Amino acid sequence: MKYFLLLVVSLVSHAVWAGATPPAPDTIAERVKPCLACHSPGGRVGKDAYYPRLSGKPQGYLYNQLLNFKQARRHSRPMNLLVENLSDEYLAEIAAYFAAQPPRYVAPRDGAGVKPGATPPPLLTQGDPARKIPACIACHGKTLTGVVPHIPGLLGLPADYISAQFGAWKTGTRRASEPDCMGGIARQLDTTEVGAIAAWLAAQPLSSDAHAADALPEELPLRCGSVTATVKVTGKAAGKIMPKARP
């Protein structure tokens, strides 16, 4: 009898415990939680100052990068494995989710002796016509917070991450569909130039509600990365443009 009562109590306790933990809802917010293991809850930069935020980045940019990981134009073993069997439509859904989240930025860092508000390196604002290198602001926006639908912001990123991406473009471990303009630019820069750009960008303050520009010129030649066609883009509709995957 004693053992029977213990069995009944055990079964009832298990039923109560099981009933107190309903299955997680099948929502995109639940399904992207594995992404936050590295990119941190809310899309903030990880503690090791390497993983970039995802929240608030342009939808087209996020989608293109997921495609690049899937198609091995970018190399990160965890990312390649994570997306290799996902459909392009699902990648677009993931990109849309993170793009809709409010951007969250880490505090700027006083790295390499660069102070907030210091004069930016000439490449950021002027480029180098002799080497046919455009100014960073020509693509990434006058405020360097990005331009929808495809251009990411450069502020609010750690210097180590920025430097690592230039290195990846130089070595070809990060690529985009041709014409890969960032790869061509990166291969022309030396380590001193990359270090100066990364240090200045990481040291700049940025308001927590800073967004990528939500309007583009009426005619925009999208010649970098995965998009090459000239398209009409106006107002907030620009954020809804999704590029087609290219081989």
Confidence of residue 242 (pLDDT cuts 50, 70, 90): very low
Percent of the chain with pLDDT over 70: 70
Is 178 among the domain residues? yes
Helix (H) or strand (E) holding 220: strand 219-221
Q: How confident is the model at residue 74 (pLDDT cuts 50, 70, 90)?
A: very high
CATH number, residue 206: 1.10.760.10
Q: Tens of pLDDT along 30-43?
A: 999 988 888 876 44
Segment holding 93, helix H or strand E? helix 88-99
In this structure, is residue 30 part of a structural domain? no
User: Beta-carbon neighbour count of residue 41 at 10 Å?
Assistant: 9
Residue 33: CB atoms within 10 A of its CB come to 10
What was the pLDDT predicted at 1? 44
Residue 142 makes CB contacts below 8 A (sequence gap 6+) with: none
Looking at the chain, how many residues does it have? 247
- pLDDT at site 246: 34
Q: What is the mean pLDDT of the chain?
A: 77
Q: What pLDDT is recorded for position 105? A: 72
**Is the per-residue pLDDT at 8 higher than 90?**
no
For 221, phi and psi rounded to 5 degrees? -80, 110
pLDDT tens figures, 102-153: 887 766 765 567 877 789 999 999 999 999 999 999 999 999 999 998 999 9
φ and ψ of 74, to 5 deg: -115, 145
Whether 69 is covered by a domain: the verdict is yes
Residue 217 lies in a domain: yes
Highest mean pLDDT among 6-20, 131-145, 147-161: 131-145
> Looking at the DSSP assignment, which residues form a beta bridge with residue 213?
147
Is residue 181 within a helix (H) or strand (E), and if so which, with residue range? Answer: helix 181-186
Look at the chain and report how many structural domains it folds into.
1
- Give bridge partners of residue 174 from the DSSP assignment: 74
Which tokens in the block code for residue 106? Answer: 């880490």
Q: At what angle do helices 88-99 and 59-70 cross, to 10 degrees?
A: 140
- pLDDT at residue 111, as a whole number: 57
- pLDDT for 158 equals 83
Complete DSSP assignment for 18-60: HHTSPPPP--HHHHTGGGHHHH-GGGPPPTTS-SPP-TT--HH
Q: What is the pLDDT averaged over residues 224-242?
A: 37
DSSP letter assigned to residue 230: E
Q: Enter the DSSP assignment of 232.
A: E
Residue 198 lies in a domain: yes
Specify if 135 maps to a domain.
Answer: yes
Q: Is residue 41 part of a domain?
A: no
**CB under 8 Å to 166, separation ≥6 — which residues?**
186, 189, 194, 197, 198
Domain membership flag for residue 132: yes
For residues 214 and 123, is the Cβ–Cβ distance under 8 A?
A: no
Domain of 90? 50-102+121-240
Q: How confident is the model at residue 22 (pLDDT cuts 50, 70, 90)?
A: confident
Structure tokens at 40: 């941190």
pLDDT digits (tens, 9 = 90+) for 92-104: 999 999 999 888 7
Give the lowest-confidence range in 1-15, 31-45, 72-86: 1-15
Q: HSE on the CB side for 126, CA within 13 Å?
A: 7
